[in-house]
Chains A and B, each alone.
Chain A
């Protein structure tokens, strides 16, 4: 039973929104435990939808998805929440609660383990202050623990999000464009931080990046996603320039700061008077 060692197994996974907006169009892949994988591809290729399937936010419209050998179709209620607890996700941005203090955002990583009452009382007087402090030290901002989250910079907020995942201590870390809203030097620092964490604690790591260079430099396995399918799934030294060109053909490569608006905006939404 080889799939038992697999973190993820996807078979012909499709995800369709509404009637005909096809986000994923037959994805087959397997990801082993402890593996580190980068996803690249043009925006709108279906990476975010794929992440939402991998962290059990959405379910496939058709096809099969196993996590740790468990068919996610069979997971509901408490078992679904427990499956989610074992998967940590870091998003591009806006994934922290801005009005809460940093410590509560970090301790939110415990919510899957805490009872409702215990988590409520933590809002009044934080439990596990030391756990939060340790996680924040690991990402290099222990002094921000009692500040309000919306007073931190974008890069610091991303570190808070990583600290939250550290507190959650999942088997898998998923990171959907974790560095697209920070500057390039900070970007490689954060990617390296994620890799360190996955190496030292043997966690599976799946990261989507629109910086191809980062993906090729740091990951032993790179999957190109286009039109809701895997265009290639190779080691970085086997990926040719032609393949990359093909992957991004017909789309504009976004620069590193621009992808903040994830919803496609219509160019004629606000026509000018002239």
Chain B
């Protein structure tokens, strides 16, 4: 009964706000159109059309000469290696910080109840650790990997190493946040049982927590690795090695057919990683 009455009052209650938000949404669309300088005429005017045409036709046929392909071999390998080590570092950063940022492991819930009841100082300290871990993780991920790469190029010089660091730090932030969410989403009854045996937090984690979280943990990490492959191809644009650097060079020399070749390589690479991670996920 109660529920029904609420349902009846809701639409009229909502109508004013729905008009308001529709108006705001339209306003946002219009204003953003103007300020971002979207101008579709470019595609129809002679000048814009010529430039586009030159770029597109310039791409064909792609440069598949052995000469160029063999030149691309090293940067391609480098891109995969950057993404690989970048992800490894991201896991090394994200895993421990994600653990400390897991509310139910550090502060709240049945696994902290007995230890923290009537101990406000200890609870406060734990909460501080939790907030600190969360803070570091958000700092790491709110700065785009591109900007991290810029900074690391300044700090450690040109080459693939700053690319590895950039992916490691930015993706560490993303992984850590999602890890903590995965860890918070498990079933706590087995964990309570392990605690009641006298297991410590780490033992509870490895016997009860991690086994439950494993499938999500692996599949999200692999997904991030796929993203890292794309990202590490782009990071070259700021001088952090890999295929990105080659795209930049070819673009600057107006060798659009080489650009297409690199894009094809990128496509194959990402598809390959996709396939590989799908295979691994199917094993779980």
Contacts and interface: CB of A to CB of B under 8 A. Distances in A.
A192 interface: no
Contacts of A109: 197
Given A95-B192, A99-B212, A111-B203, A59 B117 contact: yes
A113 B207 CA distance: 15
Interface string A39-63: 0000000000000000111110000
Nearest to A90: B193
A97 interface: yes
Interface residues of A, number: 41
Contact of B199 (A73, A94, A111): A111
A204 interface: no
B32 interface: no
Contact of A82 (B4, B198, B214): B198
Interface in B206-240: 206-208, 211-212, 214
Contacts of B207: 97, 100, 104, 108, 111, 119, 123
A91 B114 CA distance: 19
A102 to B, nearest CB: 13
Interface in B174-200: 187, 189-190, 192-200
Contacts of A116: 200, 202-203
A158 B99 CA distance: 31
B190 A57 contact: no
Interface in B150-192: 187, 189-190, 192
Contact of B194 (A76, A77, A111, A120): A111
Contacts of B200: 81, 111, 116
A112 B190 contact: no
B208 A97 contact: yes
A120 B204 CA distance: 11
Interface residues of B, number: 30
B199 A57 contact: no
B114 A58 contact: yes
Contact of A96 (B114, B193, B214): B193
Q: Taking each of B110, B199, B202, which has the highest tally of chain A beta carbons within 10 Å of its own beta carbon?
A: B199
A96 B198 CA distance: 15
A100 B115 CA distance: 27
Contact of A84 (B2, B189, B197): B197
B120 interface: no
A14 to B, nearest CB: 13
Contact of B196 (A87, A99, A271): A87
B3 A271 contact: yes
A87 B195 CA distance: 11
Interface in B1-53: 2-4
A180 interface: no
Nearest 5 A-B pairs (CB), nearest first? A112-B198, A85-B198, A111-B199, A95-B193, A84-B198
Given A57-B114, A95-B190, A108 B196 contact: no
Contacts of B113: 57-59
Contact of A89 (B117, B196, B199, B206): B196
A108 B114 contact: no
Q: Which of B118, B187, B193, B203 has the most CB of A within 10 A?
A: B193
A38 B201 CA distance: 32
B190 A81 contact: no
Contacts of B114: 56-59, 80
A72 B11 CA distance: 55
A88 interface: yes
